[in-house]
Amino acid sequence: MVRRSLVPLAVALALAALASTGRAQETPKPDAAKVSEPAMSRPKKAPVMLRVQITIARYQAERKLASVPYTLLLTTDDRKVRLRMGVEVPIPVTSFSKSDDAKSSAVTSFQYKNVGTNIDCWAEDRSGDGLFQVGLSVENSSIYSSTDARTTGGLNETGLAPDRPMFRTFNVSLNPTLRDGQSIQAVASTDPVTGEVVKIDVTLNVVK
């Protein structure tokens, strides 16, 4: 009777040993943290250096009045390049003051206004196939006080004093996409006072 009771016990122990051996031979599942580690350690793409030329030109009909180029070096890591070029223009301001004998006298002082060009530019290499997206913000201001060059196609200027300066301001933000060596005309806008056409050309080159 003792031998018969030991047989089932031995069989049960053998089955348990086989089950534990099978579990030990199973391939361990990879750790999720270890799987994501190679992706996190991938080297970042090195930024590309670009040369961007912005040309601001003014036309009266087909005649070119002025063309001013600005050349900037920047990289495709979304870092902004800033350019500020201008001059402080004095503007006379007349005020009247009374003296002790109750006579009034004119006193002229000056306020200064910055006139020139402000450019903010940045670039990204999003596609990876040679296309670069350029972010561009341009503000251009100038003095305009001559009545001889004003065209009849502009705004009605009745009441404007001929000896008072006017300040023209042109402001635009755009995001053209260009390839290496490509040049595009990004803006063409008409000045409402003078009838002049303002054009902005953008040229991109990869610095090798």
Q: Kindly report, residue by residue over 25-82, the tens digit of the pLDDT.
A: 555 555 555 555 554 555 567 889 999 999 999 999 889 999 999 999 999 998 999 9
* pTM of the shown model: 0.66
Q: What is the pLDDT of residue 2?
A: 46
Query: Looking up tokens 């008409």, which residue turns up?
Result: 190
SS3 of residue 157 by DSSP: coil
Does pLDDT of 174 surpass 50?
Answer: yes
The conformation of residue 31, written as its DSSP 8-state character, comes to P
Residues 6+ apart with CB under 8 A from 56: 67, 68, 70, 117, 138, 140, 198, 199, 200
Sequential DSSP letters for 32-77: HHHHHHHHHTPPPPPPPEEEEEEEEEEEETTEEEEEEEEEEEEESB
